[in-house]
Copies of this chain bind each other. A is one copy, B any other.
């Protein structure tokens, strides 16, 4: 570390940027030309071990040689310079790209996929696929009426139905209006924006260590599941039935809240009993960081979720869906670009590297090593850090309070560790899939040092 972070060059740039837009969320300016692997450079010449990776998005590290190569491949050039309206005029290699890249890593049992731009619009269009499916079943085979076709243009019933999506407190699904309707984390995401009044259920708050709190945790999960049932019955009764349930396999932004396979299996059962779809939001949890390619593979669900949106590490947005959720008409799930083939060119290289280097098993192994380090810290600093938990390297640990957590993050940044927060007082780990044991050692040393400095 050469300067404090943000350093003087970063601060100057922040001040210039603030003439153009709000900069309240800017941490520092990064030097991506020099960033490499797990290390992020800033404009003041500091080097940080990046354990937050651009909000969980950089799959195989900075400036990976295979990404540089993908950029230079003659067969990829057209995807970068001629962005198509994919839904109308797909490129000649599109079917093969979908098969070789996106379907090659599809969640077990799923073989339909739709590309999108980003996480939020993947959620938006997933919801639309669910609404169309729901209304099609409600109509029972009859075509939409003239009145439905006409009234929907004015946002009025019956063409604009009163149907809802159930979501969870602590859930985060994005910032556009439909995705935001399912998001319940911080006021900064939500205040002052009109939103539909849709049902919101509690998400389990498990007690750690899990093995010592089995009975209590099961009761907590049953409490939440019962509330889901009650809300679905209630919303059906008031004429705004639940067409789908939206849930993250791990609530990330909300505080890295986990639930058991039993919870998710029962949730799927409840959805089916109420003729609702199950939307499993894998935007942050997908693409290998949990020790499985998709986090919901940990749950042994009797059958696949109905729609699985993705983005972040997948580089492109999109969603997998079951056959029954395929729209029956063209132009219904459609945007101008409907995705970006250039991002799939990059993901192609990423998927190759993941498979060749067995990176999903890598995150499982390194995750175990990281967890053992976190358990050690809990022993060493009881009352300050607690509740270490994780799947693979998608891990977290709680602090005694937000202030101590934020100080720890700040102090770690000054010592060359970039890491993220979530929830009220949680530290979240989101390193690349290339993160290794020796990186864990670097982190643990500095974490130990920072915690000991915070201990009074």
- Point out the residue from B30, B75, B153, B192 that lies within 8 Å of A84, measured CB to CB: B30
* Number of chain A residues close to chain B: CB under 8 A: 127
Chain B residues whose CB sits within 8 angstroms of the CB of A164 once the complex forms: 194
Q: In the complex, which residues 128-159 of chain A have their Cβ closer than 8 Å to any Cβ of chain B? A: 128, 131-132, 134-136, 144, 148-150, 152-156, 159
Q: Are B54 and A67 in contact, CB atoms less than 8 angstroms apart?
A: no
- CB–CB A336/B55 < 8 A: yes
Nearest B residue to A153 via CB reads B184
Say whether A54 contacts B89, CB under 8 Å: yes
Q: A184's contact among B82, B154, B161, by CB below 8 Å, is which?
A: B154
Assess whether A21 is in contact with B112, with CB atoms less than 8 Å apart.
yes
In the complex the two chains form, is B196's CB within 8 Å of A329's CB?
no
Judge whether A16 is part of the interface by a CB distance below 8 angstroms: yes
Q: Residue A198 at the B interface, CB < 8 A?
A: yes
**Chain B residues closer than 8 Å to A200, beta-carbon distance:** 154-155
Q: Does A62 contact B (CB under 8 A)?
A: yes
> How far is A188 from B328 in the complex, measured between Cα atoms in Å?
11
**Interface: A185 (CB within 8 A):** yes
Residues 252-266 of A contacting B (Cβ, < 8 Å): none
Residues in A lying within 8 Å of B, measured CB to CB: 13, 16-17, 19-33, 35, 40, 43, 54-55, 57-58, 62-64, 67-68, 71-72, 75, 77-85, 87-92, 94-95, 98-99, 103, 111-114, 117-121, 124-125, 127-128, 131-132, 134-136, 144, 148-150, 152-156, 159-164, 169, 174-179, 181, 184-198, 200, 311-312, 315, 326-337, 342, 346
Contact status B152-A190, CB under 8 Å = yes
Inter-chain contact A22/B193, CB cutoff 8 Å: no
Other-chain residue from B32, B132, B184, B328 in contact with A78 (beta carbon distance below 8 A): B32
Contact of A32 with B178 in the complex, beta carbons under 8 Å: no
Complex contact A103–B20 (CB within 8 A): yes
Nearest B residue to A283, CB-CB: B336
B331 touches A112 (CB 8 A): no
Given contacts A29-B90, A118-B118, A311-B336, 5 further A-B contacts (CB under 8 A): A81-B346, A117-B118, A148-B191, A155-B197, A177-B178
The distance in angstroms between the C-alpha atoms of A160 and B198, with both chains bound, is 12
Q: Check A22–B328 contact: CB distance below 8 A.
A: yes
Q: Which residue of B lies closest to A34 (CB)?
A: B78
Whether the pair B335, A120 counts as a contact (CB closer than 8 A) is yes
Q: Is the CB of A20 within 8 A of B98?
A: yes
From B72, B163, B335, A174 is in contact (CB under 8 Å) with B335
Interface centre among A98, A149, A178, A194 (most CB of B within 10 A): A194
Is A120 within 8 A of B121, CB to CB? Answer: yes
A30, B149: Cβ atoms closer than 8 Å: no
Instruction: Give the docked Cα–Cα distance between A98 and B21 (Å).
Output: 10
| B residues less than 8 Å from A331 (CB atoms) | 24-25, 188-189
